[in-house]
Amino acid sequence: MGDQLSRDISALKEARKTKDVIVMGELWDEATSVKHHKKKIILVLSAMRHFAEALKKDGWRVDYQKLDDENAVKSFSALVKRAVKKHRPATLVVTEPSERRVRQEVEAFKKTLSIDVDIRADDRFIASHDDFSQWAEGRKQLRMEYFYREMRRKTGLLMEGDKPTGGAWNYDKENRKPASADLFMPAPKAFKPDRITSDVIDLVQTKFADHFGDAEPFRYAVTRKEAVKALDHFISKALPRFGDFQDAMLTGERFLYHSALSAYINIGLLDPLEVCQRAENAYLSGDAPINAVEGFIRQIIGWREYVRGHYWRGGENYVRQNYFENRRKLPAFYWSGDTDMACMREAIEQTREDAYAHHIQRLMVTGLFAMLAGVEPYDVHEWYLIVYFDAFEWVEAPNVIGMSQYADGGALGSKPYAASGAYINRMSDYCKTCRYAVTKKSEEGACPFNALYWDFLARNEMKLKDNPRLSQMYRTWAKMEKGTKLSYRAHARATLEKLDAGERI
Ligand code: FAD
Ligand code: SF4
């Protein structure tokens, strides 16, 4: 599958070059399960073609279907059925698919095929499904921080015996600084498209012309070799300052000190443990400080594993959760970037061009606005699944439904990530060029986030007021003069009415 492009994948572990056939297919149903960003389709298809070529060169028999082959089939089921007829195998060996929809399709092979079907665990993850269930069992609340400590113990990363290296599990106190434009920003390693990638770009421009996003320029890695170069580049150039500026945002600086490695990890070009070990080595050799290395490793063995656990634990209706009962449709400017809010415009435009925005832009700009404006979480989830190069439902959905929209009512995180414009102003330079004034509350020209923030808290008071992490906010709201409260709510209502009428804000 397109996100299993690793020689160490469990399905290939005992495979024999002389006897086994590796079946891979570019599938219309997968490329259009939602209208994925053009760059994401290019990344996955080009990486698949390169992987298949490399396997063939090494003497493997690969039965590969291109999307535009004559007689191309559209689904996994059709691909496998055809391959079974052609190769007459005794057994189909497959690594468990990462998302529920495909997993159900593959599970059905056990009934529909007349051969043995061996579905193997995806051991690229550090926590198996059982590990997560056992950890979660009997806990009243699941919190990433405690799960993460288990993962540190399990991997031995940044551990000295049973104690965390440096004496603390988490160095976030030293992180979260705003960035200034005079800092040197090391852009991620870029790669020139080769013949295979150029062919795929042409294919995508033709077949998926109506999908969101720009196909070119395309600069992402599509082979393991390139992805390792991107990793080397990140470790030496950006990791040392990753922690300090992890939450910062700057106009025109799309990556800051972030790695832009998520897609390579998700599709199998890089192994998550290998990436963490490289970061740990940078600390041990004195090339990167502990706050950066611990923060980076926590994202991978902590958050990445933790959200996967929630995705599978959340069951069939995970993506339909809607704790605040929000019903508003996603505003059209999420696709066009056509808004006067500088922060939203910046995040959306770079998303359209690069299929990338970093975590804080996803969480505290586009995600935050959708939650404050009461957009239906399923719509928000679909948008995120479409627009990012690293978007696969198992990781995207818990980040959107759980972390960013609080649509699971607090199963994943301890409070909604609600904030006013002041947060964005503190962590970015966006407000300086915005038509709105972040310092204005509810007067003409006030930052829309400000009134929407108080309106969100007021609207959802019954559901949130007992959350200890919001008690300070509710005390402030309670003390606020009635007139101020009313003007916030009126301003928020006017903004929401404009959104509903499709007017520009
Ligand atoms: P860095 O900041 O360099 O972080 C290093 C690595 O840590 C990432 O490459 C990634 O593998 C991992 N990581 C960091 N945070 C998370 C997290 N919250 N969950 C899982 N892994 C994490 N990540 C995806 O891979 N796919 C998605 O579809 C996705 N959707 C998201 C949607 C929302 C609303 C939010 C708030 C976050 C989402 N994330 C998603 C998590 C995170 O934002 C991205 O992994 C990160 O921005 C990718 O950029 P990077 O490689 O430069 O990350
Ligand atoms: Fe965003 Fe408000 Fe700042 Fe404008 S003023 S950039 S809308 S936070």
Where residue 321 falls (left for φ over 0; alpha for ψ -120 to 50; beta otherwise) is beta
Atom 7 of ligand 2 has which residue's CA nearest to it? 341
Of ligand 2's listed atoms, the one at least distance from the Cα of 449 is: 2
Query: What pLDDT does 175 receive?
Result: 74
Cα of 486 from ligand 1 centre, angstroms: 38
CA distance to 8, 177, 178, 250, 431, per residue, from 426 (Å): 44, 9, 7, 11, 9
Atom 24 of ligand 1 has which residue's CA nearest to it? 390
Of ligand 1's listed atoms, the one at least distance from the Cα of 261 is: 51
Is residue 249 lining ligand 2, measured as CB closer than 6 Å?
no
Cα of 55 from ligand 2 centre, angstroms: 50
Query: What pLDDT does 252 receive?
Result: 87
CA distance 161 to 155: 12
Is residue 405 lining ligand 1, measured as CB closer than 6 Å?
no
CATH entry, 333-500, from 1.20.1180.10, 1.10.579.10, 1.20.120.530, 3.40.50.300 = 1.10.579.10
Question: First vs last Cα of the chain: how many Å apart?
Answer: 42
Per-residue DSSP letter, 95: E
Which of 449, 495, 498, 499 to mutate for ligand 2's pocket (most ligand atoms within 8 Å of CB)? 449
Is residue 343 lining ligand 2, measured as CB closer than 6 Å?
yes
Atom 19 of ligand 1 has which residue's CA nearest to it? 304
Query: What pLDDT does 236 receive?
Result: 95
Query: What pLDDT does 205 receive?
Result: 98
CA distance 250 to 6: 35
Peptide bond into 217 cis (omega under 30): yes
Is ipTM > 0.90 here? Answer: yes
The per-residue pLDDT for range 77-120, each reduced to its tens digit, is: 999 999 999 999 999 999 999 999 999 999 999 999 999 999 99
Structural class in CATH, domain 10-120: alpha beta
The per-residue pLDDT for range 222-281, each reduced to its tens digit, is: 999 999 999 999 999 999 988 788 888 989 888 888 999 999 999 999 999 999 999 999
Cα of 428 from ligand 2 centre, angstroms: 10
Query: What pLDDT does 89 receive?
Result: 96
Is residue 5 lining ligand 1, measured as CB closer than 6 Å?
no
Nearest to 451 by CA among 499, 407, 413: 499
Query: What pLDDT does 182 receive?
Result: 64
What kind of fold does domain 129-193+222-313 have according to CATH? 1.25.40
Is residue 372 lining ligand 2, measured as CB closer than 6 Å?
no
Nearest to 294 by CA among 187, 166, 427: 166
Is residue 367 lining ligand 1, measured as CB closer than 6 Å?
yes
Token pair 């897609």 is at which residue? Answer: 263
Contacts of 98 (CB under 8 A, 6+ apart): 1, 3, 122, 392, 393, 394
Token pair belonging to 404:
């960013």
Atom 22 of ligand 1 has which residue's CA nearest to it? 304
Is residue 264 lining ligand 2, measured as CB closer than 6 Å?
no
Is residue 421 lining ligand 2, measured as CB closer than 6 Å?
yes
Cα of 450 from ligand 2 centre, angstroms: 9
Cα of 359 from ligand 1 centre, angstroms: 6
Which of 233, 362, 399, 403 to mutate for ligand 1's pocket (most ligand atoms within 8 Å of CB)? 399
Query: What pLDDT does 248 receive?
Result: 87
CA distance 238 to 258: 7
Token pair 């607090």 is at which residue? Answer: 410
Query: What pLDDT does 456 receive?
Result: 98
Is residue 430 lining ligand 2, measured as CB closer than 6 Å?
yes
Token pair belonging to 229:
């170069």
Query: What pLDDT does 181 receive?
Result: 66
Digitized pLDDT (tens) for each residue of the chain, 505 residues in all: 999 999 999 999 999 999 999 999 999 999 999 999 999 999 999 999 999 999 999 999 999 999 999 999 999 999 999 999 999 999 999 999 999 999 999 999 999 999 999 999 999 999 999 999 999 999 989 999 999 999 999 999 999 999 999 999 999 877 777 777 666 678 899 999 999 999 999 999 999 999 999 999 999 999 999 999 999 999 999 999 887 888 889 898 888 889 999 999 999 999 999 999 999 999 999 999 999 999 999 999 999 999 999 999 999 999 999 999 999 999 999 999 999 999 999 999 999 999 999 999 999 999 999 999 999 999 999 999 999 999 999 999 999 999 999 999 999 999 999 999 999 999 999 999 999 999 999 999 999 999 999 999 999 999 999 999 999 999 999 999 999 999 999 999 999 999 999 999 9
Of ligand 2's listed atoms, the one at least distance from the Cα of 421 is: 8
Query: If 0-12 CB within 10 Å is exposed, 13-18 middle and 19+ buried, where does residue 89 land?
Result: middle
CATH 1.10.579.10 domain extents, the chain: 333-500
Atom 8 of ligand 2 has which residue's CA nearest to it? 421
CATH 1.25.40.80 domain extents, the chain: 129-193+222-313
Atom 30 of ligand 1 has which residue's CA nearest to it? 396
Burial 348-380 (b: 16+ CB within 10 A, else e): bebbbebbbbbbbbbbbbbbbbbbbbbbbbbbb
CATH 3.40.50.620 domain extents, the chain: 10-120
Is 47 within 8 Å of 223 (Cβ atoms)?
yes
Cα of 461 from ligand 1 centre, angstroms: 30
CA distance 79 to 2: 14
